[in-house]
Structure 1
Amino acid sequence: MEFKEKPDSNATLVGKSQPYLGEKHQADGKPVANGKAEVYVKQETNGKHAVPGKSLNMYSWQEIQKHNQQTDQWLVINRKVHDVTSWAHRHPGGQQVLSHHAGEDATDAFRAMHLDLDVVRLYLKPLLIGELAPGEPSQERNKNSQLVEDFREMRRLLEAKNMFKANLGFYFLHLAQILILEALAWLLVWNFGSCWTVTILISFLLTISQAQSSFLQHDVGHLCVFKKSKWNHLMHKFVMCHLKGFSTNWWNYQHSQHHVKPNIYPKDPDINMGPLFVVGDLQPVKYGKKKMKYINYEKQHLYFYMILLPLLMPVYFNLQSMQAVYLRRYWVDMAWISSFYIRYFITFGPFYGIFGTVLLIYFVKLLESPWIAYVTQMSHIPMKMSLEENWDWFSTQVLTTCNVEQSFFNDWFTGHLNFQIEHHLFPTMPRHNYHKVAPLVRSLCAKHGLQYVKKPLLQAFGDIVRTLKKSGALWAKVYYE
Structure 2
Amino acid sequence: MERRPVYYAARISVVMGLFAAGWVAFALVGDSWWQLLIAVFLAATFGQVALLAHDLAHGQVFPSRRTSANAGLLVGNLGIGLSYGWWQDKHTRHHANPNHEDHDPDVAPDFLLWSAKQAEAARGLPRFIGRWQAFLFFPLLTLEGLNLHISSVRGLRREGLKNRTAEGLLLLAHFVLYLGGVFAVLPVGKALLFLVVHQACFGVYLGCTFAPNHKGMPVLTAEDELDFLRRQVLTSRNVRGGRVVNTALGGLNFQIEHHLFPGMPTPNLRKAQPLVREHCESLGVAYVECGLLASWGQAMRHLHEVGAPLRARR
- TM (normalized to structure 1)? 0.60
Out of 212, 217, 227, the residue aligned to residue 378 of structure 1 is 212
Q: Is the 8 A contact 2:119 2:310 kept in 1?
A: yes
Structure 1 residue 406: Cα displacement: 4.0
Structure 2 partner of 1:336: 170
Alignment CA distance shift 1:417-1:293 (3 Å): closer
Structure 1 residue ranges without an equivalent (≥5): 1-163
Equivalent of 1:395, from 198, 207, 230?
A: 230
Aligned length: 310
Q: Does 1:259 align with 2:90?
A: no
More strand by share: 1
CA pair 260-194 structure 1, distance change in 2 beyond 3 A: same
Find the aligned partners of 2:120 and 2:284 in 1 and give their Cα distance: 29
- Give the corresponding residue for 1:305: 138
Could you tell me how far apart the structure 1 residues matched to 2:109 and 2:220 are?
Answer: 15
The answer to whether the Cα contact below 8 Å between 1:345 and 1:354 also exists between their aligned partners in 2 is: no
1:18-66 alpha-carbon deviations (Å, 9 max, x no partner): xxxxxxxxxxxxxxxxxxxxxxxxxxxxxxxxxxxxxxxxxxxxxxxxx
Distance 2:283 2:52 in 1: 34
Q: Which runs of 5+ in 2 are unaligned?
A: none
Q: Among residues 282, 300, 309, which one is paired with 1:447 in the alignment? A: 282
1:281 deviation in Å?
3.4
* Residue correspondence of structure 1 range 406-425 to structure 2 within 5 A: 406-425=241-260
Q: 1:293 to 1:372 in 2, by over 3 A?
A: closer
Distance 1:215 1:411 in 2: 12
Change (3 A) 1:191 1:253: closer
Deviations 1:344-401 (A, max 9, x none): 3565453126896576445312111111112212221210112133311111000111
Structure 1 or 2: more helix by fraction: 2
Q: Is residue 196 from structure 1 mapped to residue 33 from structure 2 by the alignment?
A: yes
Select the residue among 86, 89, 92 that pairs with 1:250. 86
Q: Which has the larger radius of gyration?
A: 1
Percentage of matched positions with identical amino acids: 25
**1:319 to 2:150 alignment:** yes
Change (3 A) 1:414 1:292: closer
SS in 1 for 2:59: coil
Q: CA deviation at 1:169?
A: 2.0
Q: Which runs of 4+ in 1 moved over 6 A?
A: 290-293, 353-356
Q: Is the 8 A contact 2:109 2:118 kept in 1?
A: no
Q: How does 1:91-106 map to 2 (within 5 A)?
A: none
1:181 aligns with 2:14: no
Equivalent residue number for residue 268 of structure 1? 104
Secondary structure at the residue paired with 2:175? helix
Structure 2 distance, partners of 1:476, 1:296, is: 10
